[in-house]
Amino acid sequence: MAHYRVSESKREQFRRYLEKAGVLESLTNVLVALYEETEKPNNALDFIKHQLGVGPEAEDAESLRLELNTLQQKYDQLMEENKELRSRYSCCSTSRRRAGEQNNYTHLQFQILLHIRSL
CA nearest neighbour of 61 among 74, 46, 42, 77:
46
Q: Which residues, in sequence order, are CB contacts of 36 under 8 Å at separation 6+?
A: none
For residue 119, give Cα distances in angstroms to 50, 105, 109, 111, 116: 97, 21, 16, 13, 5
Q: Return d(Cα 12, Cα 7) in angstroms, integer.
A: 9
Q: What is the pLDDT of residue 104?
A: 62
Q: Return d(Cα 51, Cα 44) in angstroms, integer.
A: 10
Tell the burial category of 34 from Cβ atoms under 10 Å away from its Cβ (0-12, 13-18, 19+). middle
Q: What is the pLDDT of residue 57?
A: 67
- For residues 10 and 17, the answer to whether their CB atoms sit within 8 Å is no
Q: What is the pLDDT of residue 55?
A: 64
Q: What is the pLDDT of residue 102?
A: 59
pLDDT tens, residue order, the chain (119 aa): 555 666 888 899 999 999 999 999 999 999 999 999 999 999 999 899 888 887 666 677 788 899 999 999 999 999 999 998 888 888 776 666 666 655 666 766 777 777 777 76
Q: What is the pLDDT of residue 15?
A: 92
Q: What is the pLDDT of residue 59?
A: 73
